[in-house]
Structure 1
Amino acid sequence: MTFGIEIQDLTVRYPGVTAIDSLTLKLEGGKIYGLLGRNGSGKTTLLSLIAAFRRVTEGTILVDGEAPFENERLTQQICLIRESGDLVVEGEYVKGILHRARMLRPGWDEEFAQRLLDLFEVPVNRGVTKLSRGQRSALGITVGLASRAPLTMLDESYLGMDAPSRYAFYDVLLEDYIAHPRTIILSTHLIEEVARLFEQVVIIDNGRLVAHEDTESLRMRGAAVVGPAAAVDDFTTGMTVLGEQRLGGTKSVTVYGEIGRDARAVAADWGLELSPVALQDLFVHLTKGDRA
């Protein structure tokens, strides 16, 4: 089972700031989405509304064709794990958190949960507040994945884990997604580290939609041009340059903008190599705005 999401003219206002600004977005079910945005862009507010943590007051959100707020059928099938530490409850033990998830989540997989706890070395008989930051993150990941919710959203929930644990998480997430397809949204600042998981990317900035595309299509908006320095400079003249590096007589320049077939033929004749631009470089360019 997978859930699609339809958002129409969604607006969220706080005193002195508009967190979400007339956002319209449609996400098909059964994909892994990367939700990208700078701090304060509205990512966490958006995910909280989708998860029915708060009521929509302007615009609409439909999950599987229905409004999620106070919708029992939907809310038990939507799982949002946030980096802010929703699972850290004073006096509660890990096994208590797992018991509650087991009771509330109809798709809960106990065997999978135990496998994740073993993988990330999370002790079940320890108080949640006694866990390290990495263990608390791993506990959140365990609840998020083992719930097998048709809509699973992870909002920076793996930031506390060290690099080996994060990479183990990426592998197990992809493995389980293939075996049990569902809609997964990953909100992250570790863009290049997680980019290989994304089927589509959603970028928001100042509460507005900047881009929503297949990952590879978005990366093809720019290119990394590598070759003899003089040839690279001539080829990229007039293009929007995102960054450049030089080593001896070789230069690499990252540019933004479509490079047509004729230009690619010229690049080949000049001995230049073209490759898709890094997703993080595109993200920085598309969201720099007035705050750069």
Structure 2
Amino acid sequence: MGYAIEVKDLTVNYKQFQALDQLNFSLAPNKIHGLLGRNGAGKTTLLTILSSFRPAKQGTVLIDGRNPFDDEEIMEGTVFIYDKDYTYDYSKIDTVIKEMNYFRPNFDEDYARNLIKKFKISDKKTINQLSKGKQSAFQITIGLASRAPLTIFDEAYLGMDAPSRELFYQELLTEQERYPRTIIFSSHLVSEMEYLFDDVVMIDEGKLLLQGSYEEVIEQGFSITGAQADVDHFTHSLEIINEKRLGGTKSVMVYGALSNQQQQEAKSSGLEVGSLSLHDLFVHVTKEEEE
């Protein structure tokens, strides 16, 4: 059901800066893709093109092998959930849910009503009467219940409290099992949601930094833990991201892959080799690019 996406040499220039710089990547269908980057990295610019808000003028974007801009079928099958200003939106929640079937052929009204109950949203209110967190939860409800082949969440959790975000994440995973689709989840806050991602695309200043499966990406770094002297000796020529000490024990985060031989040497020295979190890797890679 989900769409496959291919991006080739995508470049977007504004008057003052370059938002995207020759991006090249592909996204497999029916997976949850984490699009990671700091604020201003170019995430939203990229997503507005994928969701047909604007055409690709330099480079190529193909969704299921077709140019999505002005393609009615692709546009109907794409939902873009982003932070909106609802100050002057007097639409009643109940009315919006009823009318969604006209715009999204896969929309499940019963599921949407079930979700607003879970998020404790009154369908008698208008959208502008909701708090910021409830507005975000309502947007998420529309995105999930639309069951669109391409569903995009761009920083969609803004204003939501921790229990609401956790409910969102669990519903996202459950829905993906029931109705697989291509989901792009854009964020600069990685630590609490990295377990959601099948694949990861990491960009900074409009450029692609890393792309691959979640497992492939986190293998770009390791943690080394053991006696301080042994850790120092083993890591003296490696790129250290961070380090911690507790008594005579030291743990360091290392950027870069370790060969099989290096891993065996570490183990023979009594050192424990572990993987980095996606959050740690993200912070390091984007910080280095900034500097």
Equivalence for 2:137: 138
Structure 2 residue identity aligned to 1:64: D
Q: Distance in 2 between matches of 1:86 and 1:23?
A: 30
5+ unaligned residues in a row in structure 2: which ranges? none
Query: What letter matches 2:210 in structure 1?
Result: A
* Alpha-carbon offset, residue 268 of structure 1: 1.6
User: How many pairs are equivalent?
Assistant: 291
Shift of residue 82 of structure 1?
A: 0.5
Equivalent position of 1:2 in the other structure: 2
**Contact kept? 2:98, 2:109, Cα under 8 Å:** no
Bigger mean CA offset, 142-151 vs 69-78: 69-78
3-state DSSP of counterpart to 1:2: coil
Letter of the aligned partner of 2:91 in structure 1? E
SS of the aligned residue for 1:157 comes to coil
Q: CA RMSD in A?
A: 1.4
Q: Which residue of 2 aligns with 1:276?
A: 275
**In structure 2, what is the equivalent of residue 59 of structure 1?**
59
The CA distance in 2 between the partners of 1:175 and 1:249, in whole Å, is 45
Question: Residue 244 of structure 1: SS of its match in structure 2?
Answer: strand
- Partner Cα distance (1:14, 1:86) in 2: 23
Q: Structure 1 length normalisation: TM-score?
A: 0.95
Deviation sequence 1:164-221 (CA, Å, 0-9, x none): 1111111111011011110000001221211111111001111111111111111111
1:136 partner amino acid: Q
Seen in structure 2, the aligned counterparts of structure 1 residues 88 and 182 have a Cα distance that, compared at 3 Å, is farther
Q: Does 1:215 align with 2:222?
A: no
Residue in 2 aligned with 1:121? 120
2:164 partner SS: helix
In structure 2, the partner of 1:190 is 189
Deviation of the 1:41 alpha carbon: 0.9
CA contact (8 A) 1:87 1:97 kept: no
Q: Do the aligned partners of 2:52 and 2:70 also contact (CA within 8 Å) in 1?
A: yes
What is the distance in 1 between the residues matched to 2:232 and 2:99? 60
Report whether the alignment pairs 1:254 with 2:250: no
Specify the SS of the correspondent of 2:53: coil
| Alpha-carbon distance between aligned partners in 2 of 1:190 and 1:156, rounded to the nearest angstrom | 9
For residues 10 and 171 of structure 1, the distance between their equivalents in structure 2, rounded to whole angstroms, comes to: 33
SS of 2:56's partner is: coil
3-state secondary structure, aligned to 2:232: helix
1:47 aligned residue: 47
**Aligned-partner SS, 2:191:** helix
Which residue in 2 is equivalent to 1:31? 31
Shift of 1:290: 5.2
Q: Unpaired runs of 5+ in structure 1?
A: none
SS in 2 for 1:254: strand
CA distance in 2, matches of 1:281, 1:68: 35
Percent same amino acid at aligned positions?
Answer: 43
**Given the superposition, is the C-alpha separation of residues 249 and 143 from structure 1 closer, same or farther in structure 2, using an over 3 Å criterion?**
same
Stretches of 4+ aligned residues off by more than 3 angstroms: 86-89
CA distances 1:56-83 after superposition (whole Å, capped 9, x unpaired) = 2111211111111122111110001012
Is the contact between residue 37 and residue 43 of structure 1 (CA under 8 Å) also seen in structure 2?
yes
| d(CA) in 1 for partners of 2:130, 2:138 | 9
Question: Deviations 1:76-104 (Å, cap 9, x if unpaired)?
Answer: 10001012x16665222222332332321
Matches within 5 A, 1:80-229: 80-83=80-83, 85=84, 89-229=88-228
Task: Report the Cα distance in structure 1 between the residues aligned to 2:248 and 2:257, rounded to whole angstroms.
Answer: 26
In structure 1, how many angstroms separate the alpha carbons of the residues matched to 2:7 and 2:260? 37
**Aligned-pair distance for 1:291?**
2.5
Q: Judging changes above 3 Å, is the alpha-carbon distance between structure 1 residues 79 and 88 closer, same or farther for their aligned structure 2 residues?
A: farther
- Give, in angstroms, the shift of residue 54 of structure 1: 1.3
